[in-house]
Structure 1
Amino acid sequence: MEVFNNRPGFCPSCGSILPPLQMKGNVVCFNCKQEFLPDVYIGEKTEFTIQFNTYDPTKIFSKAKRESRTADSDGPVVERKCPKCGHDKMSYATLQLRSADEGQTVFFTCLQCKYKESENS
């Protein structure tokens, strides 16, 4: 009696994950010790549809709004004083450069003079 639905890579008898497929021979379940042909890894054909966003010109900034936005910003803009020119806005980007248990590195770019600095958080 089959208790589980047959899913590729899972034992049809007990539902356990099957061992990796070898180059030759049958597949033996680690749990129930039953032996299966390699086609136990072949699932049903699955079809899916990828839907892309449609182009809607009414949702795009008008030319005036685009031009009023800060030019050449590499990311979000924050109020931060540039140590070089004194401008009060900088864009920033973050990266995880150090090990995972340490903070990320934040890179700031002045929107006026393009001065760059970094800060480890």
Structure 2
Amino acid sequence: MSSFFVKTPGFCDDCGSILPRLREKGGVTCYVCARVFSEEEAFRTSKVETCINFNSQEAKKRNIKEENKHDEEDDDGPIVERICPKCGNNRMSYATLQLRSADEGQTVFYTCTSCKFKESENS
């Protein structure tokens, strides 16, 4: 029987559908036409290559420091230049919420990046 499909590893020679993964035991059965292939028939020229790149110890330490630095900053939003009334720091993060009716302005919540003092402003 001649096939209309190009014989490509991982695809059924009869119907052209993709073949399921190879199991530990037994052959491979096509989902569509139910033809059973041996592993040699189904994956005759297939080759799987993997490459695992491990980070160096220095890169790992650098990543941990960056994660810890980010955790320490843990800002509540974008940062603006605004003087904290408690400690005098000139950087505060902010978040906005619509707490009042839709025809009124939103409420802006500021958080000091240094002492974590919080204040709000109705705009």
**Pairwise same-fold verdict (TM > 0.5):** no
By percentage of residues, which structure has more helix?
2
TM-score range, shorter chain: 0.3 to 0.5
